Amino acid sequence: MTSNKLIIYPVAQALGASAAPIIISVAGLASLALGAPKDLVTLPIFLMNLGVAMSTLLASFSIARIGHKRAYTLAALVALIGAGLQMLALVQQTFVLFCIGCMLLGFNAAHVQSYRFAILEGLPSNEQGSAISKVMLGGLAAAIIGPQIVVWTEDLFDIPLMGNFVGIAVLAVLMMLTLSRLPRGQAAQIVTSQESEVRLLDVLARPNYVVAVLAGVVSYSLMSFVMTAAPIAMVSHGHEIKDAALGIQWHVLAMFAPSFFTGKLIDKAGAPLITALGLIMIAISGGIALLGLELMHFWGALILLGLGWNFGFTGATALVAASIESHEKRVAQGFNDFAIFSTVALGSLMAGFMFHSVGWQTINLVVFPIVAIVLALMLLLRQR
């Protein structure tokens, strides 16, 4: 049973997470094709992230009520509906309908994000880091699958971009087929009286949980914040669009490639140390970006930013899992993802605004005090 889910969740992760790079790649073009105002072309991406943030707590409670298998399959069905709305939007030339489809994809993405917790159930603590890394490797596959779908389906239909959203629909169907193989033991969950009595305020009163959540929030939101502004900055400073795209590709690969060994590092060195190393790498990436505006500075900063995200986010996930009791996981994990993705949504919205108002260098300067605060809190907690 355990070995079965160690395959199913990474495969489902690869399929489910592939939608995001597709949307990031073509949503702006789709918005322009649908007649959206130029200052709203990134609105669908923001709404997808907002959909993730709004659905994290809902995902946690739906899993508790109807179990992993049904909740995840239902979420994949919602993604299929979302892709259908996006295809209909292209046919009817309706921007609002397209935005609704993006929000529905966010609902599924919130469930996909919880795979990294679901895979831990029933595993001893010394195997949990490796299990999280297996799920993250699904993200590495998604970083390849998503962009390739954009290339493969470019001229598949007469309606421009239609093939991309047909691709998302096919991914959703494959997700449902994959999740149907989940073990029967995860097909239904019973909410115990202990679980029903858990209060979020009680969990938040625990310093180790709060610091773990904060580490995850900072690792993910800073990565998204800088990554969103980076392509704009590269093009604005004279680099070609293809150079910006290649920089983002290397960044995404750097985000997930370390998953081959991050889990083993966590199991051996401990989650606090790996999380701290990730935060330090994110800070160093900001330093590289401040050294200059050549392509090597942008690419070097983006690659290290991706590596830092992997260490920081994977380590923080393990810290959250270690800081809660089993009957608290629905509330605690749900709030953790809500905090992360609501901040990520806000960061993706603010990145463009801050770039045009204060510039690329200021965006990277923001990284240092935020990382320093979290590292100080982690050190203080360790001393206690």
In a domain, 161, yes or no: yes
Confidence of residue 27 (pLDDT cuts 50, 70, 90): confident
**CA-CA distance, 131 to 124, in Å (whole number)?**
10
Q: Are residues 176 and 209 in the same domain?
A: no
- With respect to residue 193, please indicate whether it lies within any of the assigned structural domains: no
Tokens of 171: 């991914």
- Residue 191 inside a domain? The answer is no
pLDDT at 211: 93
Domain boundary among 181, 212, 239: 181
Task: Name the residue among 116, 57, 67, 108 with its Cα closest to residue 319.
Answer: 116
Residue 187: per-residue pLDDT: 40
Are 132 and 242 part of one and the same domain?
Answer: no
Does 177 lie in the same domain as 256? no
Q: Is the pLDDT of residue 178 over 60?
A: yes
The answer as to whether 103 is a domain residue is yes
Claim to verify: residue 29 and residue 170 sit in the same structural domain: yes
Range(s) of the domain holding residue 252: 200-384
Assign 189 a pLDDT band (cuts: 50, 70, 90).
Answer: very low
Q: Please provide the average confidence, as pLDDT, over all residues in the chain.
A: 85
The answer to whether residue 170 sits within a structural domain is yes
In-domain check, residue 124: yes
**CB-neighbour burial class of residue 195 (10 A; exposed 0-12, middle 13-18, buried 19+):** middle
Instruction: Tell whether 53 and 161 lie within a shared domain.
Output: yes
- Count of domains observed in the chain: 2
Q: Quick: pLDDT tens for 328-338.
A: 777 887 788 88
Domain co-membership, 314 together with 226 = yes
Q: Which of 181, 214, 248 is the last residue of a domain?
A: 181
pLDDT tens for residues 214-254?
999 999 999 988 987 887 788 788 887 667 767 877 888 89
Contact 91, 145 (CB under 8 A): no
Asked, for residue 324, whether it belongs to a domain, the answer is yes
Query: In this predicted model, what pLDDT tens digit does every residue of 91-135 receive, in sequence order?
Result: 999 999 999 999 999 999 999 988 887 888 777 777 777 787 788
Distance CA 145, CA 161 (A): 17
Give domain status of residue 325, yes or no.
yes
Same domain, 209 and 273: yes
In terms of residues, how long is the chain?
384
Mean pLDDT of 320-341: 82
**Cα–Cα distance measured from residue 33 to residue 350, given in angstroms and rounded to the nearest whole number:** 24
Same domain, 244 and 380: yes
pLDDT category of residue 184 using cuts at 50, 70 and 90: low
Measured CA to CA, the distance from residue 11 to residue 181 in angstroms comes to 11
- Phi, psi (degrees; rounded to nearest 5) at 124: -65, 155
Residue 188 confidence (pLDDT): 44
Spatial separation of the C-alpha atoms in residues 29 and 21, rounded to whole Å: 14
CB 165 within 8 A of CB 45: no
d(CA 55, CA 52): 5
Structure-block tokens of residue 227: 């990554």
139 and 222 belong to one structural domain: no
d(CA 132, CA 116): 5
- Are 30 and 171 in the same domain? yes
Q: Higher-confidence residue: 154 or 210?
A: 210
CB atoms closer than 10 angstroms to residue 164:
29
**Do 113 and 227 sit in the same domain of this protein?**
no
- Do 174 and 211 reside in the same domain of the chain? no
The per-residue DSSP string of 7-38 comes to HHHHHHHHHHTTHHHHHHHHHHHHHHHTT--G
186 pLDDT tier (thresholds 50, 70, 90): very low
Q: How far is CA 93 from CA 31, 35, 47, 96, 148, in A?
A: 10, 8, 18, 9, 25
User: What is the reported pTM?
Assistant: 0.74
- What CATH number is associated with residue 58? 1.20.1250.20
